[in-house]
Amino acid sequence: MNKIIFTFTIFLILIGFGNYSFAVTEEPVVVIETSLGNIVIELFPAYATEHVKNFLALASNGYYDSTLFHRIIPGFMIQGGDPNTKSGEPNTWGQGGPDTKLDAEFNPIKHNRGIVSMARSADPNSAGSQFFIVHQDSNFLDGEYTAFGRLASQESFETLDKIAAVTTGASDRPVDPEQVRIIKATIIATADVSGYIPYVEPERTGTITPPTESIANQVFESKELDITFSAPVGWLLQQPDSSISGAPDVAAVGPKVDGVNPVISLTIKDQVDKTIDELITEKNNVLAEAVYLNKLEILAQEKIKTNIYQTEAIGNFEVDDKTLQIKFLEVMILSEQKSYTFAYSNTVDNFNNDLPKFQESLDSFRILSQESPIMTPSEDKSSEEGGGCLIATAAYGSEMAPQVQMLREIRDNQLMNTESGTAFMGAFNNVYYSFSPVIADYERENPYFKEAVKIAIAPMLSSLSIMENANSESEVLGLGLSVIALNLAMYLGVPAIAVVGIKRKF
């Protein structure tokens, strides 16, 4: 009788569950035989219907037979199910799977030790055949991957630990693949499992909230990092290995478009006794070499608050003999002896598509131990600190160019440190920002226009250097009027004289 019920259960699972519910003892389980022992996986059809159907179908037709656990990270998880591991080149392991992909079935099950979940790419709807088994609690995966099963015997946990302990090499691949090869996957009834661990409802987060029309984000919060922020819904949230030099503390990876995944990341560093200006200098020193080698173009840099600095740039990367242009926007925040750097990257063509999502993440950023928000949503960044020198930056290709640095000094009142100078720059910026973004964008699009602007503004930059001698109210006023008169003569008087002269001649 049990055999008949079990067979009928598998049939219903494979063709669709509907509203049918099964007793736990009659549920099928998948037994994965390896050279290090057996792994028994009990499934969660109520939480991940389509994933369970897919897993049972693949197991029943021998899809997993002779594959490997090809990615092993002790303390995190073991991953298998890639058909490329049967006989393919190791560099292709992790890239294989069936043509049919599954839509995500994110659920509130916590990724605790022994939970079985579906591997996928950055696209949430890209699961195929690859799965992973959590070795130690990894709750940062909760709600981001489809958990669909659990280990259901003591031997399963012992086998999990044995596989996690094997020696690994590059890309977390096993040095001796035969140690972790799946001999066979079979489906049996729960009642036939030796050493079965009785089923209990899996631990759930209770925090998975479906997105609404107004809030299409997921929240990342870490008491250890003392931060919280929202990330775009459907993007893969992860905490990279902290031992990797330069790796961010948190990264949100979006679905791939035109072969590239958009990324939003947060990097946190201790900055004892450092000022924002010192951090800016350090950053520019690092960027200078890339700029010199034509690997990076600085589009704009500006201090948008007294403790917040923003950099926008385009990097050139060689991929398969092609140059790929990636645009970056980075916001560095200094607070309480720590720097918090939010960065967003995407292809130049697709950059603006996800820019609002980055802005939402940035606006939502909070330091848990502080009551006040770091960023005010939709604040006008151009009004803080006098804005940036967009036209000159675009013309000279870098905010670090000497001509631009001089303008920045004037803009930040380091040369015109007087009330008159401050008032003048305030009025100037109101006019300047009414047209400068359009001109700067056109400069970056049209190299001829860029060179024309560079030639046109060169006399003005030279004349502004006169302002370095202004140290008092009267000197600011006198030299300022002189600079204005000089520029009127250069840009209006000289052309007018030339036109009159040409007219008389002809």
Secondary structure of 67-104 in HEC code, one letter for each residue: CEEEEEECCCEEEECCHHHCCCCHHHCCCCCCCCCECC
- Residue 39: predicted pLDDT: 97
Q: Containing H/E element for 12?
A: helix 2-15
Q: Containing H/E element for 229?
A: strand 227-232
Torsion of CA 78, 81, 82, 88, to 10 degrees: 90
Can you tell me the mean pLDDT for 312-322?
76
Is the pLDDT assigned to residue 109 strictly greater than 50? Answer: yes
Strand, helix or coil for residue 378: coil
- Residue 505: predicted pLDDT: 57
Query: Which is higher by pLDDT, 348 or 260?
Result: 348
What does the alpha-carbon distance between residue 24 and residue 338 come to, in Å, rounded to a whole number?
Answer: 51
Is the pLDDT assigned to residue 15 strictly greater than 80? Answer: no
Query: Which is higher by pLDDT, 10 or 204?
Result: 204
Query: Which is higher by pLDDT, 203 or 212?
Result: 203
Q: Which fold has domain 217-379?
A: Protein Transport Mog1p; Chain A (3.40.1000)
- Residue 14: C-alpha distances to residues 18, 27, 28, 210, 397 (Å): 11, 13, 12, 27, 60
Is the pLDDT assigned to residue 4 strictly greater than 50? Answer: no
Lowest mean pLDDT among 156-160, 331-335, 399-403: 399-403
* DSSP codes joined into one string, 449-474: HHHHHHHHHHHHHHHHGGGGG--SHH
Mean pLDDT of the chain: 76
- Residue 305: C-alpha distances to residues 74, 116, 225, 281, 364 (Å): 43, 46, 23, 16, 17
> What's domain 2-192's architecture?
Beta Barrel (2.40)
Do strands 308-319 and 322-335 pair parallel, antiparallel, or not at all (unpaired)? antiparallel
Q: Containing H/E element for 165?
A: none
- Residue 63: predicted pLDDT: 95
What does the alpha-carbon distance between residue 276 and residue 222 come to, in Å, rounded to a whole number?
Answer: 25
At 142-155, the pLDDT tens digits run 888 999 999 999 99
Domain ranges of the chain: 2-192, 217-379, 386-506
Lowest mean pLDDT among 13-22, 79-88, 325-334, 403-412: 13-22
Report percent pLDDT > 70 for the chain: 66
Lowest mean pLDDT among 9-18, 38-47, 394-403, 476-485: 9-18
Q: Assess whether the region 2-192 and the region 217-379 belong to the same CATH fold.
A: no
Is the pLDDT assigned to residue 323 strictly greater than 60? Answer: yes
Which residues pair with residue 297 across a beta bridge? 314
Can you tell me the mean pLDDT for 218-230?
85
Can you tell me the mean pLDDT for 111-123?
91
Chain mean position to CA 492: 49
Is the pLDDT assigned to residue 313 strictly greater than 50? Answer: yes
What does the alpha-carbon distance between residue 404 and residue 409 come to, in Å, rounded to a whole number?
Answer: 9
